[in-house]
Amino acid sequence: MARILDGKAIAKQVKDELRQRVSQLRETGLVPKLVVVLVGDDAASASYVRSKSRAAQDVGIDAEVIQMPANIAEDELIRALERLNEDNTVHAVLVQLPLPAHLDTDRILMHVHPAKDVDGFHPVNIGRYATGTPLLWPCTTAGILEILERSEIPIAGRTAVIVGRSRIVGWPTAQLLLAHNATVIQCHRQTVNLREYTRQADILVAAAGQPSLIGPDDVKVGATVIDVGINRVGGHLVGDVDFAAVEEKAGAITPVPGGVGPLTVAMLMKNTVHLAEIHQREKEGFR
């Protein structure tokens, strides 16, 4: 039976630590501020944004949600982001994804200033972590590291297999594990004989968005399995891993819900505080 890696409990630890750090910052007059831009009325996105606002309130971060209509013109959205870039009271800006289909996500994300890009999706920030000088890591990827480190699961020298290569999770997670000296194999939609790779994994990250993609025959005995999938099946939330069957074989496993998801929100708070602190240091440097 695998050890269950309790994301809710780890997220709570992260937020407890942050609450103290934010309270000290507020005493110096710095109130970290996050703005979340939500376009359209996707129910899941609205629910994630509510979780983000609640977590911000919980740790003492000032959070604002800017709701925009689904049919907003691209240039109008860009102008709104540019206003946030110029607002000195705002330290962190996030555009909730996915955006409606008429909007060019790459173009939009390029208009979040790299110093306020709390998701780490701007090309400058991708370049920074790809070249070994990360400003920060995307929230879910940072959450995966937090789970591994707080659970004392070694990374260096281990074989890590990532299934999926998305901007939000798969690609940055491969870069992060590589930066922590894992031997990394990145699999994707066109990988032939996926199982041949997943069975080599000491750390298996499933981030493909496909329920039951990973079963017991896809996993090495004792492996750490991190399930990043968020799929709604028959009214229930499930990951990409057949949890009940894989639990028997893995050494450690994250559940869905209650695994990586809560860390995505907690690490958004941590990234916000990090950006606010950098902003403060730079301001002091100019005095």
Ligand X SMILES: Nc1nc2c(c(=O)[nH]1)N[C@@H](CN(C=O)c1ccc(C(=O)N[C@@H](CCC(=O)O)C(=O)O)cc1)CN2
* Active site (catalytic) residues: 52, 96, 119
Which tokens go with 45?
Answer: 């996105």
Tell me if 206 sits within 8 A of 241, measured CB to CB.
Answer: yes
Q: How far is the CB of 10 from ligand X (least distance, A)?
A: 12
**Footprint on residues 151-170 left by ligand X (CB under 6 A):** 168
Is residue 256 a contact residue for ligand X (CB under 6 A)? yes
From CA 154, how far away is CA 149, in angstroms rounded?
7
Structure token pair of residue 219: 């996993």
Q: Would you say 26 is a known binding-site residue?
A: no
Considering only residues 28 through 87, tell me which ones interact with ligand X, judged by CB under 6 A. 47-48, 51
Of the candidates 91, 261, 269, 272, which one interacts with ligand X according to CB under 6 A?
Answer: 261
| Residue 264 in contact with ligand X, rule: CB under 6 A | yes
Which residues, 6+ apart, have CB-to-CB distance to 186 below 8 Å? 161, 162, 165, 170, 171, 174
CB of 284 to ligand X, least distance (A): 30
Nearer Cβ to ligand X, position 174 or 265?
265
Pick one of 135, 265, 266, 269: the residue that binds ligand X (CB under 6 A): 265
Judged by CB under 6 A, the stretch of 61-69, 72-80, 89-97, 278-286 that binds ligand X is 89-97
Strand (E) or helix (H) holding 161: strand 159-163
Asked if 105 is part of the footprint of ligand X (rule: CB under 6 A), the reply reads: no
DSSP of 44-72, one letter per residue?
HHHHHHHHHHHHHHHHT-EEEEEEE-TT-
Name the pairing type of β-strands 3-4 and 252-253: parallel
Residue in 10, 214, 230, 276 binding ligand X, rule: CB under 6 A: 230
139 binds ligand X (CB under 6 A): yes
271 contributes a contact to ligand X by CB under 6 A: no
CB-based contact 38:67 (threshold 8 Å): yes
What is d(CA 117, CA 79) in angstroms, rounded to the nearest whole number?
A: 16
In 3D, which of 224, 202, 200, 195 has the Cα closest to residue 158?
202
Indicate the residue type of 111: H
Q: Which residue is nearest to ligand X (CB)?
A: 261
Whole-angstrom distance, CA of residue 228 vs CA of residue 163: 10
One residue of 30, 200, 258, 280 binding ligand X per CB under 6 A: 258
Cβ 56 to ligand X shortest distance, Å: 13
* Contact pick of 2, 39, 94, 161 for ligand X (by CB under 6 A): 94
Stretch near ligand X under the rule CB under 6 A, chosen from 78-86, 195-203, 216-224, 251-259: 251-259
Annotated binding site for NADP(+): 164-166, 230
